[in-house]
Chain A
Amino acid sequence: MAGQTDSQLVARCRVGDDAAWAELVERFGRYVYAIVVQGFRLREHDAEDVFQDVFARAYVSLPSLRDDAAVRPWLAQLTRRCCIDRLRRERREEPVEELADTAGEDELARLDEAFAVREALAALGEPCAGLLDRFFCRDESYHTIAEALDLPLGTIASRVSRCLAKLRTSFEGRSPASTASGETVTR
């Protein structure tokens, strides 16, 4: 399953491959979550409902997706609609236009950029991918990371620094087209 393009993953989901669906949720879960909690700033309970609703709708509608490679922007649009529906139900007095603006284009562009960095991170492989994920995304301490990865505590900071430099080299060497098409290979 590792190393599949978005198109390949969607094709497998379409024929009822449960493992592919689980991989799709794993691949895009952070992105959907970020739109919900950072883009639209939904409260925890609402965010959970919307997160589940997005994937429930995606599961049903995936067969009608026209361009398998465009699954990420399609999910982004679906997530935005689910968030706006939720906000509309809660804030009936506010104009729809204001709700649509709740998550600005700049914020969504930033999340797209973050997703591209994440793809580059996955392509780095271990140990850097896990190390940087633990430190930056999961906010784990040096101590926790050292224990989890069975590494000397005193080496974590330098390893994070080296891996970040490696990520920079890798990310800057990527083709911009691969990010735009969604056809990058992740994990």
Chain B
Amino acid sequence: MTGYDEERLAELLRALPPPPAAWVQAAQELPRARREVGGIVARAEADAAYRAAVLADLEGALADAGLEPNPPAVEELRRRLSP
């Protein structure tokens, strides 16, 4: 591991800027999100009217559960509600 002058190290440091904080936070909340989605699905299985409402507005259902309705979360909910 030789040949790293300070200019090269600086260039390599610049190569990894932080992602937007909101992206990181959403990814970090994935375990909780999956639990919340599980709760929505369980309720939907017991309540047909609720299930219809969720299917009509997946993003809204996620938001009501305090979750960011990003595409993976929406897709996960859709997948788990599909027959």
Could you tell me which A residues sit within 8 Å of B by CB distance? 16, 18, 21-22, 25-26, 29-34, 38, 48-49, 51-53, 55-56, 59, 110-111, 113-115, 117-118, 121, 132-133, 136-139, 161, 164-165, 167-168, 171-174, 176, 179
Smallest CB gap from B24: residue in A: A29
Measured CB to CB, the nearest residue on chain B to A48 is B23
Partner of A21, one of B12, B18, B31: B31
Q: What is the CA–CA distance of A64 and B48 in the complex, to the nearest angstrom?
A: 35
Binary flags per residue of B37-70, CB closer than 8 Å to A gives 1, else 0: 0000000000000000000000000000000001
23 pairs of residues in contact across A and B, judged by CB atoms under 8 Å: A18-B31, A18-B32, A21-B30, A25-B24, A29-B24, A30-B16, A33-B23, A52-B26, A56-B27, A56-B72, A59-B30, A59-B34, A111-B16, A115-B16, A117-B4, A117-B13, A136-B14, A164-B6, A164-B10, A168-B9, A171-B1, A173-B1, A174-B1
Residues of A within 8 A of B30 (CB): 21, 25, 55-56, 59
Report Cα–Cα, A117/B13, bound state, in Å: 7
| Interface check B83, CB cutoff 8 A | no
